[in-house]
Amino acid sequence: MDHVCLGRTGLRVSPLCLGTMNFGPLTPETDSHAIMDEALELGINFFDTADVYGWKKGEGWTEQIIGRWLAQGSGRRERIVLATKVYGSMGTGPNDRGLSAYHIRRACEDSLRRMQTDHIDLYQMHHIDRRTPVDEFLQAMEQLTREGKILYLGSSNFPAWQIARTQMAAGQRNFLGLVSEQCLYNLADRTVELEVLPAARAFGLGIMPWSPLSGGLLAGALEKETSGRRGSDVVKKKLEAKRDSVERWETLCGELGQPPERIALAWLLKNPLVTAPIMGPRTIEQLRDCLNVLPVTLDDDAWKKVEEIWPGPGGEAPEAYSW
């Protein structure tokens, strides 16, 4: 597997990122450990999680599962780029969420303890906090960087204006600032093409798309419905809203001789701004299926047909909506 640089950094990561949100709630711990072992063997060195993933508020159960896997040794920690997030509610107190320096400091310490490691490679702000000044959360992140507890800073679900504000403030502080943005991006959800992707290009951020298959909509949802296999309520609602497009999509994928999920991931990977889509496999079989995307290539005519089914917002702002 050819590794790529994360944004403008020299950090090399796999072009697919292992998302761990299912570890615990849907995938038992033993199976979660087996998936991480398999991912390493397949060349995936980029693991993403968050402090809020898991069952009960404040427990960080998914991080605990990763920590117990790392504690098995055999060079596991040295072989991966470990990413987690801060922002979500981890308790009932008024300072148990957000991006205040108070919460960031404590949340980082708690994540380190749960994952049984002394540093986080990529620490991502899970959402914007409109009440916290940019200088406050940047100062907190600088302090953690100086202490060696985090190496790189990323954002998630940030709008373009907040990416720009953060990077301008970071420059004034002689701080590297953001190196990545994790956002909702797939063929069926392309709003970020208006401003977030142009901002990422301008400031050298690597894009890490979450929900690259639109929650399963792009992964053969119609075929699964026809065969009687269960789908989530969210996917069912999406399917009802976009049934015509999904029918055309799955027909095209059949004509191209590729499973829909492979073409959907390949479409993301051909974008130079995309560092690594985040996969969330529940089983080893699903993990292996994702790896089949890497050799998928289509000609320009095929990609044109894909874009006709799933058109974007019309390009970048402001040309997408003005003369």
> What is d(CA 139, CA 121) in angstroms, rounded to the nearest whole number?
18
- Confirm whether 53 is a catalytic residue: yes
> What is d(CA 9, CA 100) in angstroms, rounded to the nearest whole number?
26
* Cβ-contact 284, 257 below 8 angstroms: no
65: tokens are: 């599962």
Catalytic residue among 53, 87, 152, 185: 53
Q: How far is CA 60 from CA 66, 183, 201, 230, 292, in A?
A: 10, 22, 33, 28, 31
* Cβ-contact 154, 125 below 8 angstroms: yes
Beta bridge partners of 106: none
* Cβ-contact 15, 83 below 8 angstroms: no
> What is d(CA 14, CA 45) in angstroms, rounded to the nearest whole number?
6
Instruction: Scan for tokens 């590297």, then name that residue.
Output: 176
> What is d(CA 222, CA 231) in angstroms, rounded to the nearest whole number?
10
What amino acid occupies position 33? H
* Cβ-contact 259, 220 below 8 angstroms: yes
34: tokens are: 């087996």
Residue 182 zone, left/alpha/beta (φ > 0; ψ -120 to 50; rest): beta
* Cβ-contact 20, 282 below 8 angstroms: no
Q: How far is CA 172 from CA 175, 301, 319, in A?
A: 8, 46, 31
248: tokens are: 């055309």
- Residues serving a catalytic function are 53
